[in-house]
Amino acid sequence: MLDAMPSLLESLFAVAVVAGIAPMITALLPGPSMPQVVFLILGGILIGPEAFNWASPDQIEALSQLGLGFLFLMAGYELEMRLFSQLPGKLAIRSWFVTAGLALAFVLIVQQLRVIDGSVEVTIALTTTALGTLLPILRENGTLNTALGPFVFAAGAVGEFLPIVAMALLLSATGAIGGIIALVAMGIAVFMVLQVLMRARRRGVAIRLSLQEHATGQITLRWTVILLVFLLMLAEDFGLDIVLGGFLAGVVLRRWAPGDTDSLERKLEAVSWGLFIPIFFINSGMTLDIASILAAPWEPVGFAVLMLVIRGLPALYMYRDVLTINQRWQMVFYTATALPLLVALSQVGQEAGIMTDADAATLVGAGVVSVMLFPQIAAAIGSRSNAQAQPADADDVAPA
């Protein structure tokens, strides 16, 4: 490993090259397409300080945090709240609480054994689903347009939103009571922001400004970024994790988005996946403790299997009345796919001094394993299924 720290421009160039090459590798590889997120992380490992040292994670940290915010903004924007009152949402919530109970029981049982530090972080980690990471994969393989789509989407939304709330309540810098107060304050602040924006739209401000929505104005996109950064800053000031701010920004944006929403969605995808989100995943690879993983590679693999058992397997029972056996096995692997929240949880644990670098690497490494393997297995199961069973009550299911 070289000792000289790369300059800012050298770091940005190396990151840009990885971001540009990753989707090309995905497209050129034979067989089922591997999520480009995997190659972004692997590329980050290669250019990071533990390999060729072509880029410094410290110099792109701010951009990485913004990328994390955009990732959860997109997840929040995709969320349709009324889905939770319908069959897919109800089953997703029940399944999540079953998973949470299993995760808590597991952590309590092995608490006396030194497997990994940070019992709260581990409990939450075992309940997460990476909706933001899964959405591009689900779109590419057509799953969202099948009978299975609403169920996977709802499970992913619940598996992202409820762990974020759990993080806010249990891992707040001010403690559990402070976390509740901060969460309520954050909710009030978001409600006030939404009311201001909705009132502006009712008064026709959005229509008058629509002339500046395209070309050099890009006013809606610019105010989306302002909204995102404001809520990230607010979450940080309240002692909450910034993923909550990003997710809430997406929820607010979906309710408020003025003008040409189809155009805004395309712009958001271009800005987030074209620039900021790849930086987050590349930075995750750059900061990964590879030495710890190589010293005990069975630990991240074992934790990934544990995620599959605790987060995934309950789907076999919970969806028994509405999905076929093949679809339920797809749910097992899709819902057990997690990564961004594992990165956030490992960072929280490290900053609090609860988790070591090796423990954090185990969490993130397990997330990488899940992203590399689980969606591919789910897609393979789906491709072997000749027919998709319809839900029990088709009128009770809304398209994702």
Rounded to 5 degrees, what angle do the CA atoms 254, 259, 260 make?
85
pLDDT tens per residue, range 369-384: 998 899 989 988 988 7
More confident residue, 308 or 181: 308
Written as one letter, the residue type at 116 is I
Rounded to 5 degrees, what angle do the CA atoms 11, 17, 19 make?
100
d(CA 77, CA 135): 12
Residue 27 lies in a domain: yes
Residue 224 lies in a domain: yes
What does R_g of the chain's alpha carbons equal in angstroms? 21
Q: What is the DSSP letter of 330?
A: H
φ and ψ at residue 308, rounded to 5 degrees: -65, -40
What's the sign of the alpha-carbon dihedral 82, 86, 89, 93? positive
Task: Say if residues 322 and 392 touch (Cβ distance below 8 Å).
Answer: yes
d(CA 305, CA 312): 10
d(CA 265, CA 238): 29
Residue 91 lies in a domain: yes
Residue 53: per-residue pLDDT: 92
Number of domains in the chain: 1
User: Which of 194, 232, 241 minimizes the C-alpha distance to 352?
Assistant: 241
Residue 289 lies in a domain: yes
Residue 181 lies in a domain: yes
d(CA 355, CA 346): 7
Q: Which of 261-270, 282-291, 301-310, 337-346 has the lowest mean pLDDT?
A: 261-270
Alpha-helix runs per DSSP H in the chain: 8-28, 36-47, 61-78, 87-110, 119-125, 131-140, 149-170, 175-202, 205-209, 219-237, 242-256, 261-271, 277-286, 290-295, 298-307, 314-318, 325-335, 340-351, 357-384
b (16+ CB within 10 A) / e for 92-105: bbebbebbbebbbe
Rounded to 5 degrees, what angle do the CA atoms 339, 344, 350 make?
125
Residue 3: per-residue pLDDT: 60
Q: Taking the mean position of all CA atoms in its chain, how far away is CA 87?
A: 23
pLDDT tens per residue, range 189-210: 888 877 777 776 666 555 555 5
Residue 117: per-residue pLDDT: 59
Rounded to 5 degrees, what angle do the CA atoms 9, 15, 21 make?
135
pLDDT tens per residue, range 237-264: 877 778 888 888 888 887 776 555 677 7
Residue 175 lies in a domain: yes
pLDDT band at 388 (very low <50, low <70, confident <90, very high): very low
Q: At residue 83, does pLDDT exceed 50?
A: yes
Residue 291: per-residue pLDDT: 86
Residue 118: give its domain's CATH number. 1.20.1530.20
- Torsion of Cα atoms, 140 then 141 then 145 then 150, to 10°: -100
Residue 337: per-residue pLDDT: 94
Name the pTM for this structure: 0.81
Mean per-residue pLDDT of the chain: 83
d(CA 400, CA 153): 6
Residue 36 lies in a domain: yes
Residue 34: per-residue pLDDT: 74
Q: Find the domain containing 333 and state its range.
A: 8-387
C-alpha to C-alpha distances, 185 to 4, 168, 182, 235, nearest whole angstrom: 45, 12, 5, 10
d(CA 64, CA 60): 6
Task: Say if residues 183 and 168 touch (Cβ distance below 8 Å).
Answer: yes
Straight-line distance from the first to the last Cα atom of the chain, in angstroms, rounded to the nearest whole number: 47
Residue 259 lies in a domain: yes
pLDDT tens per residue, range 214-237: 555 577 788 788 888 888 888 888
Q: Taking the mean position of all CA atoms in its chain, how far away is CA 208?
A: 35
